[in-house]
């Protein structure tokens, strides 16, 4: 089997949301941080790439970059008016078109490169150049609406890539999002489209605020049934995630019978992430990857693309991502997760797990 491909470009790590404390812009009563800044730091992804290099895992992949998407390619999802507004503000030094998505000067070009990495990964798999691919996406994309950025996301990277693959002849595509925050942008892009199955496993009522990600949101028009939200109680850990995948996610993807699977690999459900309240760990993400790889082998000749988006614990995201990449490549390194024993000890009690699984069992797509 040929090596999977890893799509990466250091330039994407130069995207910045500006000086902030966690997610609040500095000013007023918000004191500038002594170090670091905005929660959406490049450090988790940069440290992952460093860990890959020093552990030798990079050698298990073909490493490639890609060209930025053109305006015409971005318009597969985004209207020209949005592109013009974003570009003008980027050229003027930055700002915010939505309060949860600030950006600095030059961000338009970096965002177009991030989208280009994802589209190239998806197209290469769609066209048979490789069977499996992994792309580092920064800025991320799963919250971005066609005409509005949101939640650190500037372009709908995966949604654009889906349309590229469909133009290349892939008809039915499943997008599985296990980021801890609801994938509202991807959902909005395909809400009435029966050719794209969108599944979001997320912490209930985390982000976006309000009713985003509710079970009842199942699509509309011809797309009814092609959107599946799996809200999971805060405090859930390894057992709940694997149960949700086995009893809700896998049956939904199997029934849909896609020709390709794309995973939005948000790693912020980990037990030390500052922007969520879940207790997953590196072995959770390894197990999810193993399961989705098995599905792709059965359903779509192994065609699988994994796109890394969220994850804000710079110390821990690299170990979670490394587990995914090891599983994807079939290679194991000597790296040991130094947080794993602690997070295993902190898993929910037997009673809490039982309550979480009972709640998931009431999901309308649950298969006993």
CATH code, domain with 108: 3.40.800.20
Q: Report how far Cα 236 is from the mean position of its chain's Cα atoms.
A: 19
pTM (two decimals)? 0.97
**Does any domain span residue 51?**
yes
Into how many domains does the chain fold? 1
Q: What tokens were used for 308?
A: 């890394």
Percent of the residues in the chain that have a pLDDT greater than 70, as a whole number? 99
Q: Report the C-alpha gap between 139 and 103 in whole angstroms.
A: 10
Domain assignment of residue 367, yes or no: no
> For the residues 216-222, what does the mean pLDDT come to?
98
- pLDDT tens-place string over residues 33-74: 876 688 999 999 999 999 999 999 999 999 999 999 999 999
All residues at 6 or more sequence positions from 102 whose CB lies less than 8 Å from its CB, including other chains:
17, 18, 20, 25, 38, 94, 95, 96
Residue 12 lies in a domain: yes
The residue annotated as part of the active site, out of 38, 78, 142, 143, is 143
The count of residues in the chain is 368
CA dihedral 128, 129, 133, 138 (to 10 degrees): -110
Active site residue 202: no
Rounded CA-CA distance 161/119 in Å is: 4
- Is 366 part of a structural domain of the chain? no
Question: For 319-368, what is each residue's pLDDT tens digit?
Answer: 999 999 999 999 999 999 999 999 999 999 999 999 999 999 999 999 99
The predicted-structure confidence for 288-330, as pLDDT tens digits, reads as follows 999 999 999 999 999 999 999 999 999 999 999 999 999 999 9
Domain span at 224: 5-361
Tens of pLDDT, residue by residue over 86-138, are 999 999 999 999 999 999 999 999 999 999 999 999 999 999 999 999 999 99
How remote is the C-alpha of 327 from its chain's centroid? 17
pLDDT of 283 reads 98
Query: Is residue 340, in this structure, part of any structural domain at all?
Result: yes
CA 185 distance to own-chain centroid:
11
The reply to whether 333 falls in a domain is: yes
CA-to-CA distance for 105 and 260, rounded, in angstroms? 36
Q: What is the pLDDT of residue 223?
A: 98
Contact 82, 98 (CB under 8 A): no
In a domain, 252, yes or no: yes
CA–CA separation, 351 and 10 (whole Å)? 45
282 occurs within a structural domain: yes
With contact defined as beta carbons under 8 Å apart, do 18 and 292 qualify?
no
Q: How far apart are CA 85 and CA 87, in angstroms?
A: 6
The pLDDT of residue 1 is above 80: no
Report, in angstroms and rounded to the nearest whole number, the Rg of the chain calculated over CA atoms.
Answer: 19
pLDDT tens track for 266-280: 999 999 999 999 999
Choice between 58 and 27, residue whose per-residue pLDDT is larger? 58
């Amino acid at each position: 089997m040929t090596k999977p491909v890893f799509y990466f470009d250091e330039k994407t790590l130069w995207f910045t949301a500006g000086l902030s404390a966690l997610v609040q812009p500095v000013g007023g009563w918000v004191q500038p941080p002594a170090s670091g800044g905005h929660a959406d730091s490049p450090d988790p992804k940069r440290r992952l790439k460093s860990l890959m290099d020093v552990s030798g895992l990079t050698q298990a992949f073909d490493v490639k970059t890609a060209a930025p998407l053109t305006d015409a390619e971005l318009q597969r999802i985004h209207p020209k008016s949005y592109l013009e507004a974003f570009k003008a503000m980027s050229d003027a030094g930055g700002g915010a078109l939505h309060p949860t998505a600030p950006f600095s000067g030059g961000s338009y070009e970096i965002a177009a490169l991030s989208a280009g990495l994802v589209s190239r990964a998806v197209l290469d798999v769609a066209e048979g150049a490789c069977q499996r691919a992994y792309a580092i996406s920064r800025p991320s994309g799963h919250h971005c609406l066609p005409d509005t950025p949101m939640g650190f996301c500037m372009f709908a990277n995966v949604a654009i890539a889906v349309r590229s693959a469909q133009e290349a002849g892939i008809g039915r595509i499943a997008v599985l999002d296990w980021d801890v925050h609801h994938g509202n942008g991807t959902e909005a892009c395909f809400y009435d489209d029966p050719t794209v199955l969108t599944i979001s496993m997320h912490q209930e009522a985390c982000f976006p605020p309000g009713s985003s990600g509710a079970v009842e949101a199942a699509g509309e028009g011809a797309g009814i049934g092609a959107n599946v939200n799996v809200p999971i109680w805060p405090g859930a850990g390894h057992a709940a995630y694997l149960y949700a995948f086995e009893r809700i996610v896998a049956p939904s993807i199997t029934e849909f019978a896609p020709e390709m699977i794309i995973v939005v690999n948000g790693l912020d459900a980990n037990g030390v992430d500052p922007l969520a309240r879940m207790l997953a760990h590196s072995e959770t993400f390894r197990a999810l990857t193993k399961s989705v790889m098995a599905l792709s082998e059965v359903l779509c000749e192994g065609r699988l693309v994994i796109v890394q988006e969220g994850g804000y614990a710079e110390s821990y995201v690299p170990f979670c991502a490394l587990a995914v990449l090891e599983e994807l490549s079939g290679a194991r390194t000597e790296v040991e997760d130094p947080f794993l024993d602690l997070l295993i000890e902190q898993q929910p009690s037997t009673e809490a797990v039982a309550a979480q699984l009972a709640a998931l069992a009431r999901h309308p797509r649950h298969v006993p």
